[in-house]
Amino acid sequence: MAVLITGGAGYIGSHTCVELLQAGYEIIVLDNYKNSHPESLKRVSHITDRGFKVYQGDLMNEAIIEKVFMENEIEAVIHFAGLKAVGESVQLPLLYYESNITGTVKLCNVMRKFNVKNLVFSSSATVYGVPERIPISEDATLRAQSPYGRTKQMIEEILRDLYISDQNWSIALLRYFNPIGAHESGLIGEAPNGIPNNLMPYITQVAIGKLEVLNIFGNKYPTKDGTGVRDYIHVVDLARGHLCALEKVLSSTGVEAYNLGTGKGYSVFEIVEAFEKAANINIPYRIIEPRKGDIAICYADPSKARRELGWTAEKEIREMCRDSWRWQSQNPNGYMLNREVFSK
């Protein structure tokens, strides 16, 4: 029996593949490579010294999903696949609603057809919108502020309705905070297309010389130094959270949401300072206008995941910065290589 990982070639997906393979699971990856690169999966195989099946395809094509289920014995799905840029979602809302929501519905239809009812869903802390209180717990009001966030919130509701209709389903909704870092090998990491939307890859691309200066969106927030405060979590800790959630859904039924964060908040200036120390590189920056919709402070209450999944984030900010720099310095162009490596 295998675990299907949709979007498994992506940033979080590839690290989760590593964790599952090292824990002894058989995996199958389905990815369309729109926001990822097949090279990442070759490197996953190299890190773990294990092979696995890979299908190239899109969740909008129900036939390819059926093909995967027909050709393999699947016991659970970890669902990462989807569009993920908040800014782009504001410009292209229909694309996001169609891709993220319709793709998930098609996946669940096929899962139901093949009687596979164990699912770990990649949700997001964006479902909380502007939080009522800090730290944010899972019972906070959901009021996503962007089309991207609303797709995650809507999918959560769809999955809750699915469980109400058939209580044999077992579903974990994982609400991520801000993943950064990379595998300690430096072989897999975050490789955004174009100018990064997130802070850490922006910093590392300035450090490597691909970008001239880091834009910091506002320094007048009511925080310790005026810059926004976020909960940054090492991507390997996040990947371990998926392993714990998978073990939970395989041993129970129901639908539960879990925050995956550290429970600590770091400001933009604190992240820049930590990175400069880890990489011994000065990061030039400039303050520009805040982005519409950005909030001052956002960090998790991760106690539910600790109680029910037996999971806690272990890596500190120093390790997050060090591993981010190792990945970027060893892979200045991400997975866009001049030669193939680690082919198996």
Domain locations along the chain: 2-330
Catalytic residue set: 148
Sheet holding 254-260, edge to edge: 53-56, 26-31, 2-6, 74-79, 118-124, 170-176, 254-260
Hey, CA dihedral for 271, 273, 279, 285, is it positive or negative? positive
Which residues, other chains included, contact 315 with Cβ-Cβ below 8 Å and sequence gap of 6+? 181, 234, 236, 237
| pLDDT value of residue 339 | 41
- Per the prediction, the chain carries an average pLDDT of 94
CATH number of 2-330: 3.40.50.720
| pLDDT value of residue 337 | 61
Is the predicted pLDDT of residue 344 greater than 60, yes or no? no
Q: How many whole angstroms separate alpha carbon 236 and alpha carbon 231?
A: 15
Main-chain dihedrals φ then ψ at residue 61, nearest 5 degrees: -100, 95
pLDDT, average across residues 171-186 = 97
One-letter amino acid for residue 138 of the chain: E
Is the predicted pLDDT of residue 343 greater than 60, yes or no? no
| pTM assigned to the model | 0.95
DSSP class of residue 175? Answer: E
Which residues, other chains included, contact 46 with Cβ-Cβ below 8 Å and sequence gap of 6+? 187, 342, 344
pLDDT, average across residues 34-43 = 95
Interval 240-295: pLDDT, tens: 999 999 999 999 999 999 999 999 999 999 999 999 999 999 999 999 998 776 78
Buried b (16+ CB within 10 A) or exposed e, 79-106: bbbbbbbbebbeebeeebbebbbebbeb
Q: How many whole angstroms separate alpha carbon 63 and alpha carbon 301?
A: 40
Give which of 54, 84, 328, 317 is closest to 188, Cα–Cα. 328
| 31's tokens | 């990815």
Does an H or E element contain 124, and which?
A: strand 118-124
Question: Which 3 state secondary structure label does DSSP give 333?
Answer: coil
Q: How many whole angstroms separate alpha carbon 196 and alpha carbon 207?
A: 13
What is the pLDDT confidence band of residue 342, given thresholds at 50, 70 and 90?
very low
